[in-house]
Structure 1
Amino acid sequence: MVTRRALLAAMAAGWARPVLGAGAPRIAAIDWAMAETAMALGHPPQALAELVAFRRVAPLPPPGSTADLGLRGAPNLEALSLSAPGLILSSSYYAFAEPQLARIAPVFSRALYVPGEPPLPKVTELLAELAAALGIPEAAAPVLASAEAEFAALAGRVQDRRPCLLLEIGDARHVRIFGHDSLYGGALEKLGLENPWAEGTRFAFYAPVPIERLAAFPEARLILIGEVPPQAQRALDRGALWNGLLPVRRGNVRRLPGINAFGGLPSALRFARELVAALETT
């Protein structure tokens, strides 16, 4: 929570303001995928919602001078106003707040995560759209070219083409499984790897899925994304159900750090890097 006292202290100290290119507005970001994209274009937001949590999963570190706007679903409008944005970056997730945001500055918003639709093409197209909105259309092409080259290089490093089941552990008996309409699923396809989860999802992932259903994927590698709750990890370590799974018995389990599941192209690239590095370990 951003308090009024903290806001006034920040104003007294003076927030550092990066020097932007000619015509590029100061920006504030409510949506994290938008924030990542702006950072990739070389114009990080001066203010960002849920800044502390963002830093934990961000593929690119925000500047130390970035102001915190509070919750994404209920941004602190005073903090937002004090950050003096010329443009506010949002998404369809926060359409309910757009009338309030628009009273402070113009809002740039896109529907990036839509159930049943792959998000990676959308966040890729966002590069050019946001670059144009920022008045720096020339910035998008080199970022996109670099991303495509890195995806190709990472795909070339993959030796074992077995399917990868992408999941998060919720508790000792349930997981969330990420489908083809997830950012992770799109990055997996860029690497030339198969996601064996063919069922639909409710919003990028399907949950809760009982752990026993993982037995239907004996040849897949289990890719665990993010931290496993300590209590769940202890239960898994001694649980017959988990340890009886063929991929677990064969050592075909890989762990990745927490990655923004609803991020932009930078998060898709980070997932690809982390996955390839994990697959290269024995």
Structure 2
Amino acid sequence: MTVDCRHINRRTALALSMVALLPAGTARAQEKRVAVVDWAMLEIALAIGIIPVAATELIQFRLIAVEPDVPESVADLGLRGTPNFEMLRMAAPDIILSSNFYEYRRASLERVAPVFSMTVYEPGTPPYGLAEQVALGLGARLGRSAQAATYVAETATMLGELRMRSASHTERPIFIINIGDARHFRAFGNDSMFGDVAIRLGFTNAWADKSSYSAAAPVGMEALARVPEASVVILGPVPPEAEKVLSKSALWNALPAVKAGRVATLDPVNHFGGLPAARRFARLLTEAPLFSGGDSNG
């Protein structure tokens, strides 16, 4: 794919130039058997052409993260926090991809294979730039430097194009939320991938309170009235019981955004994803009728 250099930042440009200087064959290191316990690392690995032998919670990944596709050949290791170590040993990985979320498991994982861990999410830090670094670092570690640099550049280009396309629909601030039940939600702050990407698309995040690693703890629905001019973006899935109650809820229907039809419900996206999650969220957000010139779906 042709890369639009207008949307490439200095870090990406440097990465591309470094790849161009690599000796022939350097970016095609010997293939390794890769296992993955972190979903952001799984997303990025798949995006740059690495098919793991095993990864965690694949049924949920396919439902929540959705993209990229996970081949059926990848073995499911069970829960991210408590992977099946017998299955992991049987997969015989040469390397295990992890993140700061699973450092407490590092010693156990290293008894199986060396661990490569990088950080996308830090409290109070917008994660998009860190996700770029992780993609480049993972590419370098696994012999996919050229693919990683291209993916980083293409993602930056995509966001730049979507920002221009959506410029006339970003005048209102937006709450980006996930609904827990009919009375509570989690708000995604600027240290979430969703908040960071929304800002890069030209939106203003209406949630100004603190969040940690991604989202604020569940708060009451009435908090959505604090910024009455804001629109509300709901990240699916919405619990079925909450969905049934919300349509009849006096509190919900009294919210300014709901009364005005300024609510968009998006398909699921990985809350703790990497650049593939950033791409998916940006595409879903800007394609929502509320932000693309169509009718509201509130």
TM-score, reference length from structure 1: 0.90
Give the counterpart letter for 1:115 in structure 2: P
Give the counterpart letter for 1:277 in structure 2: E
Which residue in 2 is equivalent to 1:135? 143
Give the counterpart letter for 2:122 in structure 1: V
Question: 1:165 & 1:65 partners in 2: Cα distance?
Answer: 39
Which residue in 1 is equivalent to 2:247? 237
Which stretch of structure 1 is more off in the superposition, 150-159 or 253-262? 150-159
Which residue in 2 is equivalent to 1:53? 60
Which stretch of structure 1 is more off in the superposition, 135-144 or 178-187? 135-144
Is residue 158 of structure 2 the alignment partner of residue 150 of structure 1?
A: yes
Question: 1:153 & 1:146 partners in 2: Cα distance?
Answer: 11
Deviations 1:140-182 (A, max 9, x none): 2211111111111111221211111100111111111000000
1:35 to 8, 30, 42: 42
Which residue in 1 is equivalent to 2:74? 66
Cα drift, residue 203 of structure 1: 3.1
Deviations 1:40-94 (A, max 9, x none): 1111212111111111123211111110011111111111111121110001111
Which residue in 2 is equivalent to 1:82? 90
Give the counterpart letter for 1:26 in structure 2: R
Deviations 1:219-250 (A, max 9, x none): 11100111222221222111111111111111
Instruction: Work out whether residues 24 and 136 of structure 1, in 8 Å CA contact, stay in contact via their aligned partners in 2.
Output: no
Cα drift, residue 22 of structure 1: 4.4
Instruction: Work out whether residues 58 and 267 of structure 1, in 8 Å CA contact, stay in contact via their aligned partners in 2.
Output: no
1:189-204 alignment, distance < 5 Å: 189-204=199-214
Which residue in 1 is equivalent to 2:127? 119
Superposition CA RMSD, Å: 1.4
Question: 1:138 & 1:273 partners in 2: Cα distance?
Answer: 24
2:33 to 20, 26, 30: 26
Instruction: Work out whether residues 151 and 269 of structure 1, in 8 Å CA contact, stay in contact via their aligned partners in 2.
Output: yes
Which stretch of structure 1 is more off in the superposition, 210-219 or 133-142? 133-142
1:276 to 286, 289, 292: 286
Equivalent residues, number: 263
Partner SS state of residue 169, structure 2: coil
Give the counterpart letter for 1:27 in structure 2: V
Question: 1:83 & 1:192 partners in 2: Cα distance?
Answer: 44
Which residue in 1 is equivalent to 2:112? 104
Instruction: Work out whether residues 29 and 142 of structure 2, in 8 Å CA contact, stay in contact via their aligned partners in 1.
Output: no
Which residue in 1 is equivalent to 2:237? 227
Deviations 1:109-156 (A, max 9, x none): 023212111111111111110011102322222111111111111112
Instruction: Work out whether residues 98 and 116 of structure 2, in 8 Å CA contact, stay in contact via their aligned partners in 1.
Output: yes
Instruction: Work out whether residues 175 and 232 of structure 2, in 8 Å CA contact, stay in contact via their aligned partners in 1.
Output: yes
Partner SS state of residue 214, structure 1: helix
Residue ranges of structure 2 left out of the alignment (5+ in a row): 1-26
Which residue in 2 is equivalent to 1:13? none
Instruction: Work out whether residues 226 and 259 of structure 1, in 8 Å CA contact, stay in contact via their aligned partners in 2.
Output: yes
Cα drift, residue 37 of structure 1: 0.7
Give the counterpart letter for 2:60 in structure 1: A
Which stretch of structure 1 is more off in the superposition, 104-113 or 261-270? 104-113
Question: 1:152 & 1:202 partners in 2: Cα distance?
Answer: 27
Question: 1:183 & 1:231 partners in 2: Cα distance?
Answer: 27
* Identical pairs, percent: 43
Which residue in 1 is equivalent to 2:173? 163
Give the counterpart letter for 2:260 in structure 1: R
Is residue 262 of structure 2 the alignment partner of residue 252 of structure 1?
A: yes
Partner SS state of residue 71, structure 1: coil
